[in-house]
């Protein structure tokens, strides 16, 4: 099988998630509606947080960054997928493929992991040290954690995109996926990729386990503090505030661990595509719904906004 050392002019073929049967056309309409709902709900969440003075706190600033990452994530994956499906084309350039790998890893693989860890620290300080909250969770620290999340994600994304596209690829450029993801692209390489795959596995483990360890420590301390509260109302408010974040953490890390930390022998292209569709298309629409339905301050700001419209 011939190989290609220069990836500059290569066009890869995305085999996609759906075909043109009736049931798959129905699934396509569901994906399209979910994409539009995700886009509108996350943009609305960002605007709501910026407009309402009661939401001008580090907690909601971090939430707005989560919504921004979700908006960028769905725009990275879904428009190309929808365009290819409607126009009956499946090609993507090497530059487009590299951009998708970089943005996907930046947003989903690194940035969101550390942002969720920062959000758990914010909840820990708010519940366990409420009087010292302005000091322990200052705006300066909040901005540093946010910039750190973006930087770590971008650094990981840049390394993975550059390393993946540096391989020589076989003449068959068919990617069994609906977007360019590093593990799917590496399968097409003609060279030995074992060292890269091992390095990528270690990197993914660190990018997942370090944040999730910080999150587990934060919520263990929060649980201990909540159980010691005398007031049932204060305990209920603390559980309600944290439950939305725990739900988002569970959805995100559950899908990520299933995708990146499974042994290679248990992997299959179909399973990878289904799980990838879940956390790139459906999870972003759940985040604003979870926070708006289970957070009294967000619901209050939403009612205020609706009253102003009326």
Residue 123 sits in a domain whose CATH number is 1.20.1070.10
List CB contacts of 210: < 8 A, sequence separation 6 or more: 113, 117
C-alpha to C-alpha distance for 54 and 45, rounded to whole angstroms: 14
Within a domain: residue 4? no
Considering only residues 258 and 203, tell me which one the structure prediction assigns the higher pLDDT.
203
Tokens representing 219 are: 């919520």
> Is residue 248 over pLDDT 90?
no
Task: Quick: pLDDT tens for 11-64.
Answer: 888 888 888 888 989 999 999 999 999 999 999 999 988 888 888 899 999 999
| pLDDT value, residue 261 | 67
Mean predicted lDDT score pLDDT of the chain: 84
97 pLDDT tier (thresholds 50, 70, 90): very high
8 pLDDT tier (thresholds 50, 70, 90): low
Number of domain units in the chain: 1
C-alpha to C-alpha distance for 177 and 165, rounded to whole angstroms: 17
Angle at the Cα of 90 from the Cα atoms of 84 and 96, rounded to 5 degrees: 85
> Is residue 1 over pLDDT 70?
no
| pLDDT value, residue 70 | 92
Within a domain: residue 204? yes
228 pLDDT tier (thresholds 50, 70, 90): confident
Task: Quick: pLDDT tens for 264-300.
Answer: 666 677 777 888 888 888 888 888 887 776 677 777 7
Within a domain: residue 290? yes
| pLDDT value, residue 79 | 93
Domain that residue 298 falls in = 11-302
User: Quick check: 63 and 244 in contact, CB under 8 A?
Assistant: no
| pLDDT value, residue 309 | 64
3 pLDDT tier (thresholds 50, 70, 90): low
Say which DSSP state 2 is in.
-
Q: Could you tell me how far CA 207 lies from the centroid of its own chain?
A: 13
9 pLDDT tier (thresholds 50, 70, 90): low
Largest CA distance in the chain: 71
Residues constituting the chain: 310
Distances (CA, A) of 179 to 84, 101, 184: 11, 9, 9
| pLDDT value, residue 250 | 80
C-alpha to C-alpha distance for 310 and 305, rounded to whole angstroms: 9
Within a domain: residue 87? yes
Within a domain: residue 143? yes
Considering only residues 309 and 18, tell me which one the structure prediction assigns the higher pLDDT.
18
Closest by Cα among 278, 277, 302 to 289: 302
| pLDDT value, residue 143 | 95
Task: Quick: pLDDT tens for 163-211.
Answer: 888 888 876 788 888 899 888 888 888 878 888 888 887 887 788 888 9
C-alpha to C-alpha distance for 194 and 299, rounded to whole angstroms: 50
Within a domain: residue 217? yes
Enter the pTM of the model. 0.88
> Is residue 91 over pLDDT 80?
yes
| pLDDT value, residue 271 | 75
| pLDDT value, residue 125 | 93
C-alpha to C-alpha distance for 223 and 239, rounded to whole angstroms: 9
Considering only residues 114 and 275, tell me which one the structure prediction assigns the higher pLDDT.
114
Sign of the dihedral defined by the CA atoms of residues 85, 91, 93, 99, in that order: positive
Give pairs for 79-85: CB < 8 Å, separation 24+. 80/179, 81/14, 81/16, 81/17, 81/31, 81/178, 81/179, 82/28, 82/31, 82/32, 82/35, 84/14, 84/16, 85/16, 85/18, 85/28
Share of the chain above pLDDT 70, in %: 91
| pLDDT value, residue 279 | 82
Within a domain: residue 309? no
Closest by Cα among 285, 283, 245, 286 to 60: 245
Q: Which residue has the tokens 């739900």?
A: 247
Tokens representing 200 are: 């990528």
Task: Quick: pLDDT tens for 231-245.
Answer: 777 777 777 767 777
C-alpha to C-alpha distance for 30 and 185, rounded to whole angstroms: 27
Within a domain: residue 163? yes
C-alpha to C-alpha distance for 130 and 50, rounded to whole angstroms: 23
Angle at the Cα of 36 from the Cα atoms of 33 and 39, rounded to 5 degrees: 145
> Is residue 6 over pLDDT 80?
no
205 HSE (CA, 13 A, CB side): 9
């Amino acid at each position: 099988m011939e190989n290609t050392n220069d990836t500059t002019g290569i066009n890869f073929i995305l085999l996609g998630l759906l075909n043109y049967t009736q049931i798959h056309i129905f699934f396509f309409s569901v994906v399209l509606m979910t994409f539009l709902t995700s886009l509108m709900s996350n943009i609305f969440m960002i605007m709501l947080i910026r407009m309402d003075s009661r939401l001008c706190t580090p907690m909601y600033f971090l939430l707005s960054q989560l919504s921004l990452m979700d908006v960028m994530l769905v725009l990275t994956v879904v428009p190309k997928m929808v365009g290819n499906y409607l126009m009956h084309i499946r090609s993507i350039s090497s530059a487009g493929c590299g951009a998708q790998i970089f943005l996907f890893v930046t947003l989903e693989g690194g940035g969101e992991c550390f942002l969720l860890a920062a959000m758990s620290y914010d909840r820990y300080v708010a519940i366990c040290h409420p009087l010292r909250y302005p000091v322990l969770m200052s705006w300066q620290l909040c901005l540093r954690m946010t910039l750190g999340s973006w930087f770590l994600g971008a650094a990981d994304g840049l390394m993975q995109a550059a390393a993946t596209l540096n391989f020589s690829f076989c003449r068959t450029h068919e990617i069994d996926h609906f977007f360019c993801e590093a593990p799917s692209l590496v399968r097409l390489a003609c060279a030995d990729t074992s060292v890269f795959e091992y390095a990528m596995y270690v990197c993914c483990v660190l990018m997942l386990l370090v944040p999730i360890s910080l999150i587990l420590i934060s919520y263990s301390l929060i649980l201990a503090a909540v159980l010691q509260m005398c007031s049932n109302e204060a305990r209920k408010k603390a559980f309600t505030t944290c439950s939305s974040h725990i739900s988002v953490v569970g959805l995100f890390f559950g899908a990520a661990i299933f995708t990146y930390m499974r042994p290679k022998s248990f992997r299959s292209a179909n399973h990878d595509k289904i799980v990838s569709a879940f956390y790139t298309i459906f999870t972003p629409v759940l985040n604003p719904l979870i926070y708006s339905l289970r957070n009294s301050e967000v619901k209050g700001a939403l009612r205020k906004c609706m009253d102003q419209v009326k």
